[in-house]
Amino acid sequence: MAPPAVSDDNSYSVDSKVLQYEKFIDEVLKKDLQRVVEQRDAVYEQISHYLQLKNTLQALQGADSQSLKADVDLGCNFYAQAKVEDSSKIFVLVGFGFFVEMDHAEALRFIDKKTSQLTAFTDQLTHDCATIKANIRLVLEGLRELQGLVDLPERSRREVF
């Protein structure tokens, strides 16, 4: 069944609504999606740093000596050799720019708790991404209906994935 005929006044109203919805998608929903994805990527990077620290601590626990030699990045990929006499304690970033001195066992427990907390946060951000994508799809479907566009028949559709 074909949609009812639209008068010229209604056509202008429909075109105006279509532009408003497209503007909403571009200026609000897509920017929200980009912000959430960037935030999630930053949290994944934090998790990566904590896991790298965990691997380093486990390697230090396996070594018998307390002294340690390492190359330290001073900035802009400029490295200097450093010698640590006692590597039994380290400073760990706990958040908001604060570092706490911990021994290896404490640091490993903290890293496990922190990574599980950050993983839960990334799960929430992933859920937020899915919600925003669903909202974009909902608005696009509304636009399709508003413009009177018809879906392709099932037999002429093809799988995207």
The string of pLDDT tens digits covering residues 54-113 is: 998 998 887 766 788 889 989 999 999 999 888 888 999 998 999 999 999 999 999 999
Whole-angstrom distance, CA of residue 24 vs CA of residue 2: 28
Residue 160 lies in a domain: no
Largest CA distance in the chain: 86
The string of pLDDT tens digits covering residues 24-49 is: 898 999 999 999 999 999 999 999 99
Q: What is the domain count for the chain?
A: 1
pLDDT at 50: 95
Residue 159 lies in a domain: no
- Taking residues 152-159, what's their average pLDDT? 59
Residue 156 lies in a domain: no
Which sign does the torsion angle of CA 96, 101, 102, 107 carry? positive
Find the CATH number of the domain harbouring 143: 1.10.287.370
- Cβ atoms of 47 and 120 closer than 8 Å: no
What range does the domain containing 37 cover? 10-147
Residue 102 lies in a domain: yes
Residue 36 lies in a domain: yes
- Output the pTM of the full model: 0.74
Angle between the N-to-C axes of helices 104-147 and 8-24, in degrees from 0 to 180, rounded to the nearest 10: 170
Residue 143 lies in a domain: yes
**Residue 144 reports pLDDT greater than 70:** yes
Residue 4 lies in a domain: no
Residue 46 lies in a domain: yes
